[in-house]
Amino acid sequence: MTAIADLRRTLSSALTVESLIVASGNAGGNDRTMSEAAAEGLLLSAYTAAEHFVREFFFELIDGVSLASLFPSPLRGLDSSLNRSLVYLASKKMDWMLPANTVEPRATTLFPDGHPFLRLKWRNTFSERLNDAKIVRDRIAHSGEQAEASYWLNVAEKQQAYKRPGSWLISKSAEIAAPTSNLKVLISAFESMAVALSDEVPDLDRLLGPIHPVSEGTNAIPGTFKCVRCSTIGITTIGSRLGGCQSETCAPVQDKTTWVYFAE
Ligand SMILES: [Zn+2]
């Protein structure tokens, strides 16, 4: 089974369980305490499944099993266990879960002309969601003071009602108009991440939300940069700083150019 099929199966059953948990949480009393505990367990297992997906998908790219025509692997055709040892050679410890991780730099080394992890670039709202998932997961999985403080400040926003991560998870998301639990938002984010990474032509705006503009001077990465003002495609050298737009409309104006990034 491919990594995406495996994750989809796990997340679709997680969503079924999520609706049961949230419904019984709304009943109040002892049911609420149990629902909070169940929500924490469900988030942990969904997070682990998402992390597992990123790892397995990474090796599918390396082995040339996924998206091989878009991102040809330098190691395709080699034995897959040999490929694993080659990837782990540089550092044994790899943090797989996006966005803050060791996956993107490693992919950049192996695929200098581009790789699907760049599709998550400058999707700030989406990255924040994945970050929240990590903070909540760390708070549930560890009892460290740092994990507690980070959860209390960034996710619970010091609201007494959310002292326990489970209570935040089964509460209604402040971000989405239709009643949706924070737990459901995070589980759906894992699925969107997986589809955005592994589809041939993903609808990134629908899956990941709006893209954040990039200012002149940012280091260019593989992909296309379009001028916000005139839509001219910028001429970029990977690794060097993005310059100003050179079109007839923009070049005479002294303003700094703002670019929009399109990943492959
Ligand atoms: Zn322009």
- Which residue blocks in the chain are alpha helix, DSSP H? 3-26, 30-63, 80-90, 103-110, 124-141, 145-150, 165-169, 182-198, 204-208
Query: Which tokens in the block code for residue 148?
Result: 């507690």
pLDDT at position 41 is 97
Nearest CA among 55, 218, 198, 217 for reference residue 122? 218
Nearest CA among 228, 227, 185, 210 for reference residue 123? 210
Residues 6 or more apart in contact with residue 242 via CB below 8 angstroms? 214, 215, 216, 217, 218, 219, 220, 225, 234, 236, 257, 259
- Match 């694993």 to its residue by tokens: 84
Residues in a beta bridge with 233 = 226
Q: If you count them, how many residues does the chain have?
A: 264
Distance from the alpha carbon of residue 121 to the mean position of ligand 1, in angstroms:
21
Q: Is the pLDDT of residue 239 over 80?
A: yes
48-65 mean pLDDT: 96
Distance from the alpha carbon of residue 122 to the mean position of ligand 1, in angstroms:
20
Would you say 259 and 214 are in contact if contact means Cβ atoms under 8 Å apart? yes
Distance from the alpha carbon of residue 39 to the mean position of ligand 1, in angstroms:
48
Confidence class for position 29, pLDDT limits 50, 70, 90:
confident
pLDDT at position 43 is 98
Highest mean pLDDT among 22-26, 97-101, 212-216: 212-216
Distance from the alpha carbon of residue 251 to the mean position of ligand 1, in angstroms:
7
Distance from the alpha carbon of residue 80 to the mean position of ligand 1, in angstroms:
45
pLDDT above 90: percentage of residues in the chain: 84
Distance from the alpha carbon of residue 227 to the mean position of ligand 1, in angstroms:
5
pLDDT at position 261 is 96
pLDDT above 70: percentage of residues in the chain: 100
pLDDT at position 61 is 96
Query: Which tokens in the block code for residue 95?
Result: 């943090």
Residue-range domain boundaries for the chain:
3-208, 213-264
pLDDT digits (tens, 9 = 90+) for 245-261: 999 999 998 789 999 99
Distance from the alpha carbon of residue 230 to the mean position of ligand 1, in angstroms:
4
pTM here is 0.94
